[in-house]
Structure 1
Amino acid sequence: MSSTIMFSPLFVRLSSSYFWYFAVIGLMAPYLAVFLDGRGFTSLEIGEILAVVTATKVFGPTLWAVLADKTGKQLSIIRLGAFLACFAFFFLFFLDGYWPLLISLALFSLFWTAILPQIEVLTLTSIRRSPKIYARIRLWGSIGFIAFAMLAGELIERYGAEVYIAIGMVILLGLFISSMQLTQRRLITVHQTSSESIFNKLYDYRFVMFFLAGLLLQISFGPLNNFFALYLRDLHYPAYAVGLMLGIGIIAEIIVFIFAGRLFQHFSLKSLLVFSLAISIVRWFLVASVGDIAWLLTVSQILHAFSFGLYHSASMQFLHRHFNHNQQNRGQAIYIGGVYGVGGAIGAYVTGLVWLDGQGGQLAFYIAAVAALIGTLFALLIPAKSTALLNR
């Protein structure tokens, strides 16, 4: 069954959507700060813009998910989000100044947030929740990230920061076109075995600890997701090092995605979540203290396999089992909005505050290590019975 799915048109369509969606992140995460720096903004202004853009993930996914749960039309929402995100990003060609850029980027992000929760639900439903198949589809997102992180770095070095906008338009058009190729399975309606509301699921102690752990982990990603290219520049690495280091991290992440299904068969979700967070503490400490030593920086990027790849796979399985079928879109959206939205905004803003045009770069990564440590403590408080082994 699994080999049939992996060579099917369904697999290709889903993989393509992940490729283009995460290609956007491959451009945005390392190079949005570079683009804004090229426009003459200070590190505090950059941090503010990145925080506002990230904050759209707080309420955006939930609004779209409520609509998806009520209508059952995840596919239409994916397509609408891709089109509107492309439209909003297009205005960057013509806008300048703090407020116009902030508004355009915030609108782009607001529409873009419509996509991922729906794709996650659509994928997990289509492949019958198989962790193995999900991991292999999701790894194409990693390939999209690495491909455009490296390509964008080379093009920006060669043609300047303004080429960032053209690259973004190419990616967003690819995302829209791929969304038009997706299909949605017609599901048979079944009676719910429980009338438990989503609020009971959200207030459940297990979910609260899981949510707080993810929130702290995402806060810890603030320096890497927003200022890593500037950090390496200040450490006098060559321009190609940004794409190279990001590529190393994503290759490691891809390997974990390939073998994630086997890990789920031998370890509980709780142990995998705790391990990923603990590894993140080590990772940020290495970047802060010995980031100027290339081979140790490379080791820290290899650890991305666990601090993101393994954690993401485990968290998606946790969410899919914690929420009922008709709560999936809202559950995904609340998690993504809260963790990636609130956590990402806090991480970006705090990093902007302490960065001081590069003088506080080391401090920012030490703060990230502390955030990951606190997140590890929350993950340890997740009851073990809520993270039972996957029987797949």
Structure 2
Amino acid sequence: MRALILVMDSVGISGAPDAARYGDDGADTVGHIADACAAGRADSNAREGPLYLPNLVALGLGQACSLANGRVPPGLDGRVEHRQFGCASEISKGKDTPSGHWEISGVPVPFEWGYFPRTKPCFPADLTNALCDQAGLPGIHGDCHASGTEIIAEFGERHMRTGMPICYTSADSVFQIAAHEQTFGLERLYEICAIARRLINPLNIGRVIVVGTSASDFKRTAHRRDFSVLPPENTILDHAASAGRDIVTIGKIDDIFAHRATRRNLRGDGNMALFDATLRGLASLADGGLLFANFIDFDTLYGHRRDVTGYATALEAFDDRLPELLSRLRSDDLLIITADHGCDPTWSGTDHTREQVPILAWTTQSSSPVGRRAGFADIGATAARHLDLPQPLHGVHF
């Protein structure tokens, strides 16, 4: 008996009930990608035609979309073989990665994160001065809201000449630092981010994100790190650790939970490497164990960059790997595939979108229909129930 939670980062299925508060009324990551594919607007040398996700459809993705907004996106109306599907709306106040993952694990975020203003400079002068003083920096480039891809390309060469890292933020509660790994040094970059983490704690900023770049085109490397704050309550990971259970985390899960109760962490450069890591982690996962995985490419490579074709291709590649995972599940295992927020690649800007998320469960055990859930915490509650762990303070198992 094991439990697996797989988070398809940013794969939302239409605007949450409070999406208008966030400027996201009408956003629909999966639906709009499917629309673009059906209209031929996402064709390329790598893919063409309607969005083709037969394995996710068999788990109920199309019907989960219908529960969320009343329509099955084109290409996703197929036979449902596992009828444990549903959708959930977030109750945490943000639309960011930590809030979504913490809520999935049974801990909604009850407070408002701190954010940096849309001014230039956007960081307080005393913060910038303290960072430069304590880290021995001659200054910083950026100091604004920006798309990571664009600002790294804009300041990359100047950064290498001056030794000044590129610092920027977004609509999320983040302080992002990018630097060239070879000329600046990856370990030095990590040290500077640790200093920044201490300095921004009083501002209630959720994450300091390290972005390493290499080569002349300043391509991001796989050495990204998130310096997060700790969840305010015990998560399902904490409950599993206290019970002495085996825990395997995949991708950036360990960073999201500030390395508390994340035990064995397996990383990979991209979704396919992360899928390989998931299969390895499952093979070694002991009875009663929990596997928690994040698949980051959907968000960082395609959602934020508003790349509809790339996002569709990534969804199809993920779907194509699912039979490998399903064939390795035991009859008493529980698999839940979900998401943490949206990042509609057809939407304006480059930020996340406030959306409902799918809940796709594979189980041979008898259980109630998932339906529409008020809060992601029901996912953690269900995994805890399956593993006979103490129930989190939030959420109702299905």
Q: TM-score range by the shorter chain?
A: under 0.3
Greater strand content: 2
TM-score of the pair, normalised by structure 1: 0.27
Greater helix content: 1
TM-score of the pair, normalised by structure 2: 0.27
